[in-house]
């Protein structure tokens, strides 16, 4: 199958618009992380190229997708990425696949899928959606005497109602506790430190 360069350039332009909206219009404006923005664009255009070439050669689509899936695993393991960043990352991958495979074909499906993907990300990561549900990792100077006491102590420190608290690390030798805290920033609490959580001096 010969390659129609006019169709290729049109597909490339549509893909660039889609990844620009995702990486710069949505992700960077909301999260301000330049390195991942560049990563999204690089992976997207690379996967677009592989997907487009599979439409004109004997290479299978599965080969191209498998190649970039391997590269994606390497990329995600090379730096710390949050779950929301992983979500953006895979949408960038899918945009490249969809637009690359649409070369020479009907654009209706590709444009519809692009709009659907960007629309879902726009809504799912909107600052006003679940804006009061927050998460922090705290390193406390003290050890736990009871789960209730630890939760009360953390609520006193952050000043908001804790909805979930998980102990990540407990060091009785150094007297330190590391916890993962989920809390509601719209529900302030009042109270003093709990006696059920022993501080470093008490321990």
Question: According to the model, what pLDDT value does residue 64 have?
Answer: 58
Residues 169-188 have a mean pLDDT of 82
Residue 19 has pLDDT above 90, yes or no: yes
Q: What is the pLDDT of residues 64-122, one digit of tens each?
A: 566 666 555 555 555 566 778 888 888 998 898 888 888 766 677 888 899 999 999 99
Residue 194 has pLDDT above 60, yes or no: no
Question: According to the model, what pLDDT value does residue 202 have?
Answer: 41
The pTM assigned to this predicted structure is 0.68
Question: According to the model, what pLDDT value does residue 203 have?
Answer: 38
Question: According to the model, what pLDDT value does residue 61 have?
Answer: 58
The 3 state secondary structure assigned to the chain is CCCCHHHHHHHHHHHHHHHHHHHHHHHHHHHCCHHHHHHHHHHHHHHHHHHHHHCCCCCCHHHHHHHHHHHHHHHHHCCCCCHHHHHHHHHHHHHHHHHHHCCCCCHHHHHHHHHHHHHHHHHHCCCCCCCCEEEEEEEEEEEECCHHHHHHHHHHHHCEEEEEEEEEEEECCCCEEEEEEEEEEEEECCCCCCCCEEECCCC
């Amino acid at each position: 199958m010969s390659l129609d360069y006019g169709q290729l350039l049109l597909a490339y332009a549509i893909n660039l618009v889609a990844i620009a909206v995702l990486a710069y219009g949505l992700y960077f404006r909301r999260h301000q992380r330049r390195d991942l923005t560049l990563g999204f664009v690089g992976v997207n255009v690379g996967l677009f190229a592989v997907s487009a070439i599979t439409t004109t050669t004997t290479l299978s689509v599965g080969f191209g997708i498998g190649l970039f899936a391997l590269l994606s695993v390497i990329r995600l393991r090379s730096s710390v990425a949050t779950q929301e960043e992983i979500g953006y990352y895979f949408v960038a991958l899918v945009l490249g696949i969809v637009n690359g495979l649409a070369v020479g074909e009907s654009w209706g499906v590709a444009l519809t899928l692009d709009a659907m993907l960007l629309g879902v990300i726009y809504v799912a990561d909107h600052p006003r959606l679940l804006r009061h549900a927050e998460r922090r990792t705290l390193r406390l100077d003290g050890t736990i005497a009871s789960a209730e006491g630890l939760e009360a102590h953390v609520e006193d420190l952050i000043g908001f109602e804790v909805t979930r608290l998980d102990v990540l690390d407990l060091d009785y030798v150094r007297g330190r506790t590391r916890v993962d805290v989920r809390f509601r920033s719209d529900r302030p609490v009042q109270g003093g430190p709990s006696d059920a959580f022993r501080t470093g001096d008490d321990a």
